[in-house]
């Protein structure tokens, strides 16, 4: 990794899924829970199609922008499975936004927490940016941020890799791109998003587990010796 001039960094931007916690561990728990729940409820198996198409239809629309992304994401799924919007919202809310939360802390990257404390000590702001709403996930992870943004927020209404949210973050903190550092886990989304906003980007997957945060913490300490 090239040397980071921490005296110039004013805002750290973090993705959520796969960046704050290990997704593979969570996915194993999710698969087990889904199988256990629906094997004894075969009449509700359509819920699995709802989950599949909700994610896949979103995935097909990388960079999509609209006036009401929050509603449209459910409409895309409804067009595929022929289910009422309320059912789709209920299923997605249960399995994507509620059920995983109690397990997130166990899957966290523990190395992140001392790094966040160092950032606070050096008055570097922390912004969270996810394609999905992340407020409840952050509570479960016991992470406090100075700003939390989702692609579905009315001020954004754009999926990654469109950099609308990054420009919003810079405007909020009144900083330029050179004062920001963005950490994510997907080059095709987070990486391109950062490039289009001319923000330096680091991919956590290029390091073992959460060791990137240890590397950055050591770099920050060394810079302020």
> What confidence tens digit (pLDDT) does each residue in 67-85 have?
999 999 999 999 999 999 9
Give me the mean pLDDT over the 195-204 stretch. Answer: 97
Statement: residue 209 has pLDDT above 80: no
Domain boundaries defined on the chain: 11-22+104-223, 25-103
Please tell me the number of Cα atoms within 13 Å of 140 on its side-chain side: 20
Q: Are 185 and 19 in contact (CB under 8 A)?
A: yes
Share of the chain above pLDDT 70, in %: 100
Q: Are 145 and 135 in contact (CB under 8 A)?
A: no
* Pairwise CA distance, residues 22 & 193, whole Å: 22
* Pairwise CA distance, residues 118 & 90, whole Å: 39
Q: Are 170 and 180 in contact (CB under 8 A)?
A: yes
Q: Are 185 and 209 in contact (CB under 8 A)?
A: no
What CATH number does the domain located at 11-22+104-223 have? 3.40.50.1000
Q: Residue 129: CB partners within 8 Å, gap ≥ 6?
A: 13, 14, 15, 16, 149, 150, 165, 166, 169
Length of the chain: 225
pLDDT: which is higher, 125 or 27: 125
Statement: residue 210 has pLDDT above 80: no
> What confidence tens digit (pLDDT) does each residue in 142-179 have?
999 999 999 999 999 999 999 999 999 999 999 999 99
Statement: residue 43 has pLDDT above 80: no
Query: What does the pLDDT read at residue 183?
Result: 98
Query: What does the pLDDT read at residue 34?
Result: 81
């Amino acid at each position: 990794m090239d040397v980071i001039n921490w005296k110039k960094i004013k805002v750290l931007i973090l993705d959520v899924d796969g960046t704050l916690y290990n997704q593979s561990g969570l996915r194993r728990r999710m698969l087990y829970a889904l199988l256990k729940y629906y094997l004894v409820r075969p009449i509700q198996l359509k819920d699995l199609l709802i989950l599949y198409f909700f994610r896949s239809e979103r995935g097909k629309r990388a960079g999509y922008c609209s006036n009401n992304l929050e509603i449209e994401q459910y409409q895309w799924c409804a067009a595929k499975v022929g289910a009422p919007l309320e059912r789709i919202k209920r299923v997605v809310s249960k399995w994507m936004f509620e059920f995983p939360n109690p397990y997130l802390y166990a899957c966290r990257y523990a190395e992140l927490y001392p790094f966040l404390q160092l950032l606070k000590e050096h008055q570097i702001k922390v912004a969270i940016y996810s394609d999905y709403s992340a407020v409840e996930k952050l509570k479960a992870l016991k992470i406090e941020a100075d700003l939390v943004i989702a692609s579905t927020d009315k001020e954004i209404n754009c999926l990654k890799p469109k950099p609308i949210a990054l420009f919003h973050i810079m405007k909020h903190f009144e900083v330029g791109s050179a004062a920001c550092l963005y950490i994510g886990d997907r080059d095709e989304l987070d990486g391109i998003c950062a490039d289009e906003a001319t923000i330096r980007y680091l991919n956590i997957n290029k390091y073992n587990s959460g060791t990137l945060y240890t590397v950055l913490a050591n770099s920050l300490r060394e810079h302020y010796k």
